[in-house]
Structure 1
Amino acid sequence: MDLRTLQAEKLIREHMVVAMGAGLVPIPFADWATTLAVQLNLVRKLAGLYGVPFLSGVAKGLIASLVGATSVRGAVTLIKLLPGVGWVMGGLTASVVAAATTYAVGKVFQKHFEAGGTLQNFDVQAARKVYESAFREGQTLAEADQRPALDPYERLRKLHELHQAGVLSAEEYEKLKQQILSQL
């Protein structure tokens, strides 16, 4: 494995961990927006690593098309709407789905950029097979990493990372932080 591939793998894993925290956001549908922001940042960094021009609007559309096939996300968000246990069950499942989709998005774009591709010649249909395989792999990795994500202190740390990365505003960060602290 060359240095650039190792750097790409590291970027994917780092963003996967941040996305896992994003999946724990207790506000229904906010986890999607936060995860998309994490995935967009990942594609931006991968594009930079491979010297590919980054176009935010194009990348956002490609990610949405690719991830949109994962209908699990909608079900997970609906689970979060259930009173009481909904957030706990939905949040745990959403964190795995957020991490797995982020891993899959990263792997798809890594492979595409390594082959000399750009955002302009990205073929969503052709990428689906790679995405589905990488999603399953990411799901396995995320499930193995899920235990630490349940710890409130770990959730606070990940929430802080999201805020530092600019994914959450100061107001969103404080609100979510207070929700986690109230559970201690």
Structure 2
Amino acid sequence: MSTIDHPNTEATSAEARVTSDPVLVSDVVRSDRLLLADNTVKNHVIAATGVSLVPVPLLDLAAIMGIQVDLMHELCKLYDVPFKEKLVRSLLTSLAGAAGTVVAMATLTSLAKTVPMLGSVAGAAGLSATAAAVTYATGRVFIQHFEGGGSLSDFDPVQFKELFKAKIKEGAQVVKSFKPKSTTNTDQTAQTV
């Protein structure tokens, strides 16, 4: 038998190769959803770093809460979870309370802005890093919860306390990666000579 007699021989074997490992639509949808969720978290982390520039102590903390509420609104839309702002604010407050020292540090760095000049700079820098790390952790924890089929009404902040703390530490490292690495001209000159 030649391929002239059976013109579909190559097509049939190619078709068999393509269909032997089917890709599930749900896997593709999940992958796309995770990419969108990651981008949503990243955008809100960047926004949270900018809030530290608000010069009024404690107003910056309210702005950070607003950014996190918006993050939750976007994640709820992405995961088809009904969004309830009062419940979200309550859950965010409870989750932040689970990481008590981080919230206390954010409050102190916000209040440091009351000290003229140096306090404003130190407060802004400290709050920027803390706000970004907490926003990152919030997003990561809720993504995991929603990926598991959870909703806002069955979220238990106590259950996610340790994960939240771990994600805050991870978030601090992620925020450091946002900063451009600087090289001095002397290092570059030394390498070329």
TM-score by length of 1: 0.76
> Is 1:105 aligned to residue 138 of structure 2?
yes
CA contact (8 A) 2:106 2:126 kept: no
**Contact 1:96–1:146 (CA under 8 A) maintained in structure 2:** no
1:84 correspondence with 2:111: no
Per the alignment, residue 64 of structure 2 pairs with: 35
Quickly say closer, same or farther: Cα 1:125–1:62, change in 2 above 3 A: same
Which string of whole-angstrom CA distances, capped at 9 and with x for unpartnered residues, describes residues 7-61 of structure 1? 1000000000001101221211111000000000001110110111110000011
Whether the aligned pair in 2 keeps the contact of 1:24 and 1:94 (CA below 8 Å) is no
- Pairing 1:143-158 to 2, within 5 Å after superposition: 143-146=176-179
Structure 2 regions of 5+ residues with no counterpart?
A: 1-29, 182-193
Give deviations 1:118-156, integer Å, cap 9, x for gaps: 1101000011111111111111122333569xxxxxxxx
Q: Which runs of 4+ in 1 moved over 6 A?
A: none
TM-superposed CA distance for 1:78, in Å, is: 2.4
Partner of 1:175: none
Higher RCO (Cα < 8 Å, 6 or more apart): 1
Select the structure that is richer in helix: 1
Q: Which residue of 1 aligns with 2:172?
A: 139
What is the percentage of aligned positions where both structures have the same residue? Answer: 34
Cα RMSD of the aligned pairs, angstroms, is: 1.6
Inter-partner Cα distance in structure 2 for 1:133 and 1:91: 23
Question: What letter is aligned with 2:158?
Answer: Q
Larger radius of gyration: 2
Gap regions ≥5 residues in structure 1: 149-184
